[in-house]
Every structure is written in C-alpha cells, then in structure tokens.
Chains A and B, each alone.
Chain A
C-alpha cells in the first residue's frame, strides 16, 4: 500500500520560511516512521534532514512530532498512524528552535538538565574513606554501588531512571509553552530522582529550595502531557508532584505554588470545600489580589462571585478524622 509523508522542511541558509513537502512511499508490514524517512532520504530526497541512531527506542535521537504528537519515529509504526490520520505528518519537536528540517537545537533542554545538578552532591561522612585515590595492590573498590532494583526498592522510584532524554515530554509540556524558562518535566523528574537517591548528600535541602524558585517545580501546569506521551512509560508529572509533597513536608513553603497547595489543603480541612477567595489570597498575597482586582471586579459585576463564607459539607467530622489519622492537623 502506498501512503504519503508530509514533511516539515526548513533550511535557514536557503529558505525564507518553513514549508511542507510530500513524498509517496510504499508500506510494508511493521514499517516504522523512521524506516519510511530513511527510505525517503535514500531513494527520493537526500536533503531531508533528521536525527537517528539506534532504531530501538533507546537513544532518543529520532523524537519528532508525528501527526501532531511528539513520538520516537523508530517506535511508531506507519500502519496505525495511517489508519487514524490517513497521512504521516512529520514536524520537528516543539519548544526548541529548528536547526534544519526535523532537527531541533537541544541546547536549552540540556542546559536545564545541567541546572538541576544531575550528579550526587557532597559526600556522606561514612564515605570519606572513599576519597579518590589510586588503588593499592590487592585493594578493591569499596564505593557503595546500588543496582537498579536496589535503588527502586529504596526509593519506590521505578521509572525516572529509565529516561532516555528524548525530549518528547519537553516538546509536549504546557508549562514550557507558557514559560520558555520553565525547567520542564525531564529536568524536574531528574531532580526528584536525585532527591530520592540514598547516596545523595544534600545536607541543607538545596535541591528542594532551588527547585522551588520561579521557573521551577511549581510552574508545572499539571497538563499530564509528559506522562501521556512519554515513549518510555515514565510519568514526570508524578515525580513533580512527589517533589511538591517532599518540599511541603520539609516546610519549604516560600513559593506561591507551595502556599497555593497548603491553602487548598487547609480549606478542605476546615470546610470540606475549596474556598476560592481564601486560596486566591493565600497564593498571591496582597499584590496578587491587587493585580487581579480589575478582573475580579468585572466578574463581580456579572454576579460571578464565590460565597464569602462557605457552608460546611455534611459529615465534616469524617474529613477532620482523615487529617487526624494522617497527622496533618498542624500543617
């Protein structure tokens, strides 16, 4: 069966603006989008540019938008895409500048990975003896090594170490669309991975403090795209939420995001409901309220104002008991 590939083309050295070019390719059972692109490049148009390497969904090089969704071309079969969309539309990943055709500039993505310090911090006191030195004759390496399953058992973190840095999550992330400076799902999932690592010696909680600054973990919009579209089945958003929980439990609540979550929890603990006015005030403070005053005034004129005093839900004691059982009353 023949099918069409519609590829995004842009060579900034020649082209004034991007355009699309269509190619007709013959399908075979099990053909992947990457197979198809390689066929186009070798048989029809050698100028079509795209990254590729392992062809086994492990190097992450061939990530691109396929029919609007960021996917690995080597892991995506042509058949189901044609069935659903009737065409293979390929475009470069979003949220990064295009270098040429389907190749994007990954610098901003990797700068953010570097920013979270993706290595073990400091040194535990009992590891002092493992200072770097040349091994003496007969001496064995005594640095503790955690195997993957041990790490998983220790931390309950069984997915973030599987990240292949393919940037699909970063390309789909609503937070990065809205704020290009936002660290993004891959970097934050990595931050969580290091926070949870028993070998990391982050004495003063600097990871959580730095991660709480603007453009950090609290800028996640919870759009769930990173989980939905991760080709390795990782859920960065769940790691980000665990970071939130860990941050609040460590009383690092200077950020508007942490204040927002604490306020919602407090409101439910008091009334069983979400108090829209109180949560707005607690999250943004007076400056936030002043900023939103014209909008709130407009909404007020239309009668769209939440009640100033909320009625408790029926059997509110049930909710109070939940907080008591979980020892959350003082928070």
Chain B
C-alpha cells in the first residue's frame, strides 16, 4: 500500500466536496493510504505571491515541512495547489537563501524543511504508483464507446520548470488513463488551455469565454463528457457553464466530471456518494451509457 499526505485544497473541502469523496473512494479501491493534514493551510490560490512572495514561501513551506516530518510525499487533487506547492518546493530546494529564511520561521513553530518531499497530483500518482495496467485490471465497469474529452488545464503542465509530470506541448497521461478505462479520448486543441478561473471574480467575460470555447470545441468533436483534474477548472466548466454559454453566444450542454469521479465510475463507485447530483450539468447521459455497457 502506498501512503501519501493528502492535501485536498480548499475547494474540495468546501463547494466541491464531491471531489474529496470520489478521491477517498478510489484511493481505498486502489490501495492508496491517504493521511489527512488537518494543520495544512490554503496554498494561496495561485495568487498569494501577488500579496507577498515570502508569505507564499512560509505557508507552503510549512505544509511541505509537515509532510516531511511524517516522512511522506504529498498527494494533491487540484492543479493550482499542485503548482503552488511544487513551485515553493523548487524554490526551497534550489535557493539556499529562501530555504534559510523559511526555516527561520519554521523553527519558531517547531518545524524544519530540508527538501525531501515530492508533490504529486493524483493523475500522475495513479500512473506512476499504481500503473494504468493495474487500474484496468481493477475496473469493474467499462467506459467503452464513451467519448471523453480530457481537459488538462494549466497548472498541472506549466511551467514545466516546477511541474514535471508530462510533456507540456503534447501531454499524454490523461489520454492513456482514459484508454486504460476503455473510453475514447477526444482530441481537441483546447485540452491544454486555460479555463479562465483565476479571473472569474475579476473579469468574468474573459474568464467564461475561455471555458465556453473549450467546452464548445469538445462538443463539436462529439465529446459525451469532459473530465478535469482540477476543482477550479470544474467550477469554470460546470458551475459557470450557463454563464459561459451566454458569453460566447453558443449552446453548451456538456457534463463535466472530476477525474476521480471518472475513475470512480470504472471502479464501481456509488453515484450518490461521489456527488453526481451536485453538478450543474446533468450526468444522466453518462450514467445511461455506462449502464448500456453493463447489459
């Protein structure tokens, strides 16, 4: 059994609880032991260095030090948390001045960081620690015939100086996972583009047009469902889908799954437990397709 310090991030503990539930379900099925981190703080939502660069180092250095104290690597389920923790980790490993400054603060709260922790997003934890072949073996339901559009988003791929899981120009991890579960990955240009979430409260028109165009493109390529590894992308793509449709003046109706929910379906998860009713765009079509495969 693989053990990780589990860092769900804020949204998965607040409005996006369905993601946390689905993650816990699949971790249990796949033999990933998730140790909660009740002391861990918010990573700063990808913008905290715009307030104070050192605050980003201190609060995230503390999260890394908490995991290091227990001898664990961190597993994340949010792109932005992944990038922020990875960026701080790189900074602390490569910049002795930043490490010293952070450790001065950490010493005052009884912690120390030496750079041993690895930060891994669940997509790549499943790929590297479980393996897609093993995932395939454990699947009890087939996603055969379902056109699944992977939406990577930004912070799981870029900048590759900090997040080093996949090829930022032509990533394949998500597609390989979909194929392992029997699904058909939809190929579309905006799969690695931005969902716009970071400016959703600042400039809604910019933000929602980005999400809207990604959904529209996937729809045009006959996607039955779009899947995202990030709860922030999920808010843009699902919760704001009606707003996005208005902003690009197109009809949009594409169900959006969290990545652990997709894996959860294949592993026989209970739809209610995985929070399928909490989505803005109905998932009934997908559930019907999965049921068809069972017959």
Contact = CB atoms under 8 A, between A and B. Distances in A.
Nearest to B51: A265
Q: Which 6 A-B pairs have the closest CB atoms?
A: A244-B50, A174-B194, A178-B206, A223-B194, A224-B158, A306-B14
Most buried by A among B14, B108, B168: B14
B210 A295 contact: no
B206 A219 contact: yes
A175 B11 contact: no
B49 A284 contact: no
B266 interface: no
B201 A280 contact: yes
Contacts of A314: 38-39
A178 B209 contact: yes
Contact of B196 (A178, A307, A317): A178
Nearest to A228: B158
6 contacts: A179-B209, A218-B202, A227-B161, A264-B51, A299-B239, A307-B14
A241 B14 CA distance: 27
Contacts of A179: 203, 205-206, 209
Interface in A284-309: 284, 288, 291-292, 294-295, 298-299, 302-307
B173 interface: no
B38 to A, nearest CB: 4
Contact of A288 (B11, B109, B201): B201
A222 B49 contact: no
Interface of B: 10-11, 13-16, 38-42, 44-55, 58-59, 62, 83, 105, 108-109, 154-155, 157-161, 167-170, 189, 193-194, 196, 198-199, 201-207, 209-210, 213, 239-240, 242-243, 277-280
A319 B277 contact: no
Contact of B105 (A228, A295, A321): A321
A303 B277 contact: yes
Interface stretch (A98-106, A141-149, A253-261): A253-261
Contacts of B240: 295
Contacts of A261: 47-48, 50-51
A72 B210 CA distance: 26
Nearest to B279: A302
Nearest to B169: A69
B183 to A, nearest CB: 23
Contacts of A214: 203
A262 interface: yes
B50 A276 contact: no
A122 B243 CA distance: 45
Given A178-B194, A178-B203, A276-B11, 11 more contacts: A174-B154, A214-B203, A221-B194, A221-B198, A245-B51, A264-B45, A265-B51, A272-B42, A291-B204, A298-B242, A318-B109
Interface in A17-52: none
A260 B201 contact: yes
A132 interface: no
Nearest to B203: A219
A224 B155 contact: yes
A283 interface: yes
Contact of B202 (A174, A219, A306): A219
A315 interface: yes
Contacts of B108: 321, 325
Given A174-B210, A307-B14, A245 B52 contact: yes
A252 interface: no
Interface of A: 67-69, 84-85, 174-175, 177-179, 182, 214, 218-225, 227-228, 235, 241-242, 244-245, 248, 255-257, 260-262, 264-265, 267-268, 272-274, 276, 279-280, 283-284, 288, 291-292, 294-295, 298-299, 302-307, 310, 313-315, 317-319, 321-323, 325-326, 328, 331
Contact of B14 (A219, A227, A276): A276
A65 B190 CA distance: 15
Contact of B39 (A175, A248, A276, A313): A313
A312 to B, nearest CB: 10
A319 B59 CA distance: 7
A315 B38 CA distance: 9
A110 B202 CA distance: 25
Nearest to B36: A314
Contacts of A84: 167, 169-170
A222 B197 CA distance: 9
A267 B201 CA distance: 16
Nearest to A222: B198
A174 B279 contact: no
Contact of A303 (B50, B51, B157, B278): B278
A295 B239 contact: yes
Contacts of A321: 105, 108-109
A272 B210 CA distance: 30
Contact of B154 (A68, A224, A298, A299): A224
B251 to A, nearest CB: 17
Nearest to A315: B39
A25 to B, nearest CB: 22
Contacts of A256: 201-203
Most buried by A among B160, B193, B213: B193
A272 B193 CA distance: 30
Most buried by A among B54, B194, B240, B243: B194
B155 to A, nearest CB: 7
Nearest to B59: A322
B52 A328 contact: yes
A314 B59 CA distance: 13
Contacts of A85: 170
B82 to A, nearest CB: 12
